[in-house]
Structures are given as structure tokens and as C-alpha cells.
């Protein structure tokens, strides 16, 4: 039986609200806490956290540790880690959940190492065996080709949960919870790195990661020119253009287009693949798409195993006709 009691969420805020990913893991944590018959707590960090603390109670937390310090006004990983580490050590939870956001990707592993425990990374599902108190985590490995079920051997059991998997609870203003101030000792000297410049890169049109429709091209396009046709369809659909690693490695499009294990992970509503075979490397970046469309001349291509709609044939003929029909439909 793992030691510790209750579930602790390492919270993240954005513009004085809980981040969406934090709201999601509050819902996941609420279910686990109920299954265990234990308390759900959340630690919220910042200069002032009254609003997100209230929000946390309304979305499922029984207790909020309000960890405030001027040093926490901005996210600086060393200070956040020190604060999170203190909360974990002093409150002794059985389970700690972190959202695997950009911040969480760095915070979760480093926090687990500080606590001397394992981390179930990038979980698609977390559940608890109420009899043993063991947290079972499902996580994709080998680029999503396999799923591993893991648990942590020591306490606390720490899991990093992938965003956009759980659905936040509707805020209930009548929910009761305790908000306690949690002082931590922080020191500017903990900071080992400092940002000296931020460079924003303005992408033209819709960003690949944000697009609800993505049109991607692969090796089978045979050269850089066909990407103009993909751009045309993407534009009509209000979407973005992506590419497989083969297309990027061939120099047809910049690396920023790449979808896959070594590129971007996207979760559009519709993912239209043109002349992409669907190697595991590529599927790792797009398996979260709501629906995949495959246009490929090889009926045996792996992409058809993952796709909801497919056309077997010469992409040039299929795409040209498809684009014209889409144009007519959107102009109606």
C-alpha cells in the first residue's frame, strides 16, 4: 500500500486563471480522489492567486495551497520546482498529477527526481486501484505503436497527464473548499538560467498546431512544387499545411512543417494526408487527429489502417478534383 494521503495537483495559471490543462487534470484528480475516498488538493503558484484558487474549488478541489511570492510572478522553472517540491514533501500526498504542458514537460520529471520517485510520463489515462491505492497509467510508447501500463513503486506516485484528454468539470460556485496560504522559502540565487531575449516567429496564416484542418504531403509528392496545391486546399478549408519527415528531409519544405515523432504533434479535427504512407514515425505526431483522410496510390499503405476516409489513386488527379469541389462548396 503506497504511503501518503490524497491527490495533489501541481497547478498552472495563465492570465490569472487556471490553465485549461490544469482544469482538465483537476477533473482526472477528482475521480481518483473519489475512488480512493480521499481529498483532492491543488497547489497554485504566483504573485497573487486568489482568482485561480477560487476557480480550483469551483472545479473540484477540496483544498487549495496558495503558494505566493513575488519571485513566482513569472514562471521560472527553478523557483517553481523548489516550491512544488516543498509542497509535496510537507503535505505528503499519495498521488501527484502534473499536466504535460510546455511547463509540465520540464517540471514533472525534475520534480519526480527531486522526490526520488518514478514518473509515469505522458499519460493518456490515469486510474486508481482503490484496494491497493496503486495509480495505473496508460501511456503511448514507440511513437504510439504500443501502449504501456505502468505504476510507480514509491510514494508519492507521480504522473504527467497529456493535455486535451480529460474534460474539465463545469464550475460550480456552490462547491466548498479550503484555501490555505502555504509559505515557501525561495531565493533568487536558486535561478541558474535567465532569458535574455524572446523572439516571436510570426507564422503566416493558421499555425499548424492550432489548425482544425491540416493538409500534409509526403514523399509520394515527388518534389516541392505540389505543396502549392496543398496550400490551395488548406487555404480554402481555413487550415494549415504540414509534411512528413521524408518531404522535409528532401528539402521540399522547411522543418517547421514536419508532423511526427521528430516534428510537431497535432490534434486537428480533420487531417488530410496526400501521398503519405503512414510510417510509425509520422503517426506519432498525428494519431490524436479526430479523423484522418488518406489519399495514396498504394492500397496497402499503413495510412489506410489509421484513416477514416480514403481514396486509392493518383494524388494529382484526386487532389485537383477534390480542391475544385471544395471551392464550389465553400462558395455556395
Q: Binding residue for another protein (CB under 8 A) from 131, 174, 199, 228? A: 199
Check binding of 304 to another protein (CB under 8 A): yes
In whole angstroms, what is the distance from residue 155 CA to residue 133 CA?
Answer: 11
| Residue 131 to residues 9, 35, 123, 138, 275, Cα–Cα distance (Å) | 22, 10, 22, 19, 50
The region of 40-48, 65-73, 172-180, 312-320 touching another protein under the rule CB under 8 A is 312-320
Cβ neighbours of residue 25 closer than 8 Å, sequence gap 6 or more: 9, 97, 98, 99, 161, 166
Q: Binding residue for another protein (CB under 8 A) from 215, 263, 273, 286? A: 263
For the segment 90-109, give every residue that binds another protein (CB under 8 A).
102, 105-106, 109
Q: Binding residue for another protein (CB under 8 A) from 37, 185, 194, 331? A: 194
Check binding of 266 to another protein (CB under 8 A): no
Check binding of 265 to another protein (CB under 8 A): no
Check binding of 314 to another protein (CB under 8 A): yes
For the segment 125-184, give every residue that binds another protein (CB under 8 A).
136, 140-154
Check binding of 280 to another protein (CB under 8 A): yes
What are φ and ψ of residue 222, in 5° steps?
A: 85, -5
The region of 43-51, 66-74, 205-213, 217-225 touching another protein under the rule CB under 8 A is 205-213
Grid coordinates 510520463 are at which residue?
A: 121
Q: Which residues pair with 264 in a beta bridge?
A: 259
Please, what is the minimum distance in Å from the beta carbon of residue 173 to another protein?
A: 32
Check binding of 27 to another protein (CB under 8 A): no
What are φ and ψ of residue 165, in 5° steps?
A: -100, -50
| Residue 178 to residues 12, 182, 223, Cα–Cα distance (Å) | 18, 12, 61
Neighbours of 35 (CB within 10 A): 14
CA angle 73, 74, 80 (to 5 degrees): 90
Please, what is the minimum distance in Å from the beta carbon of residue 298 to another protein?
A: 12
Q: Binding residue for another protein (CB under 8 A) from 113, 206, 226, 259? A: 113
**Contact in structure between 157 and 3 (CB atoms under 8 Å):** no
- To 10 degrees, what angle do helices 227-237 and 315-331 make? 30
CA angle 316, 317, 321 (to 5 degrees): 115
Please, what is the minimum distance in Å from the beta carbon of residue 170 to another protein?
A: 25
Interface with another protein (CB under 8 A), residue total: 88
**E strand or H helix at 41, and its extent?**
strand 40-46
Please, what is the minimum distance in Å from the beta carbon of residue 106 to another protein?
A: 5
The region of 27-35, 37-45, 56-64, 196-204 touching another protein under the rule CB under 8 A is 196-204
Please, what is the minimum distance in Å from the beta carbon of residue 108 to another protein?
A: 8
Q: Binding residue for another protein (CB under 8 A) from 35, 50, 69, 110? A: 110
For the segment 234-253, give every residue that binds another protein (CB under 8 A).
237-238, 249
**Contact in structure between 105 and 148 (CB atoms under 8 Å):** no
Q: Binding residue for another protein (CB under 8 A) from 177, 220, 226, 278? A: 278
Amino acid at each position: 500500500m503506497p504511503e501518503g494521503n490524497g491527490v495533489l495537483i501541481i497547478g498552472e495559471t495563465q492570465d490569472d486563471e487556471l490553465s485549461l490543462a490544469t482544469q482538465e487534470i483537476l477533473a482526472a484528480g477528482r475521480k481518483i480522489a473519489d475512488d480512493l475516498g480521499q481529498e483532492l488538493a491543488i497547489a497554485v503558484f504566483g504573485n497573487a492567486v486568489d482568482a485561480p484558487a477560487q476557480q480550483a474549488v469551483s472545479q473540484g478541489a477540496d483544498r487549495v495551497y496558495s503558494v505566493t511570492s513575488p519571485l513566482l510572478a513569472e514562471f521560472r522553472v527553478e523557483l517553481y520546482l523548489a516550491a512544488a517540491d516543498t509542497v509535496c514533501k510537507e503535505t505528503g500526498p499519495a498521488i501527484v498529477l502534473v499536466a504535460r504542458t510546455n511547463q509540465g514537460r520540464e517540471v514533472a520529471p525534475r520534480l519526480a527526481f527531486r522526490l526520488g520517485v518514478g514518473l509515469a510520463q505522458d499519460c493518456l489515462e490515469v486510474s486508481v486501484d482503490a484496494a491497493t491505492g496503486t495509480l495505473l497509467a496508460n501511456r503511448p510508447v514507440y511513437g504510439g505503436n504500443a501502449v504501456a501500463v505502468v505504476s510507480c513503486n514509491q510514494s508519492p506516485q507521480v504522473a504527467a497527464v497529456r493535455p486535451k484528454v480529460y474534460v474539465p468539470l463545469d464550475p460550480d460556485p456552490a462547491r466548498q473548499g479550503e484555501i490555505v496560504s502555504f509559505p515557501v522559502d525561495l531565493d533568487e540565487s536558486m535561478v541558474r538560467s535567465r532569458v535574455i531575449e524572446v523572439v516571436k516567429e510570426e507564422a503566416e496564416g493558421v499555425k499548424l498546431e492550432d489548425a482544425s484542418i491540416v493538409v500534409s504531403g509526403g514523399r509520394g509528392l515527388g518534389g516541392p512544387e505540389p505543396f502549392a496545391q496543398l496550400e490551395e486546399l488548406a487555404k480554402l478549408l481555413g487550415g494549415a499545411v504540414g509534411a512528413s519527415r521524408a518531404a522535409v528531409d528532401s528539402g521540399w519544405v522547411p522543418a517547421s512543417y514536419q508532423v511526427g515523432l521528430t516534428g510537431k504533434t497535432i490534434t486537428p479535427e480533420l487531417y488530410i494526408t496526400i501521398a503519405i504512407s503512414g510510417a510509425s514515425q509520422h503517426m506519432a505526431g498525428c494519431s490524436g487527429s479526430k479523423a484522418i483522410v488518406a489519399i495514396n496510390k498504394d492500397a496497402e499503405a499503413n495510412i489506410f489502417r489509421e484513416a477514416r476516409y480514403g481514396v486509392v489513386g493518383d494524388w494529382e488527379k484526386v487532389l485537383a478534383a477534390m480542391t475544385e469541389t471544395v471551392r464550389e462548396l465553400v462558395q455556395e
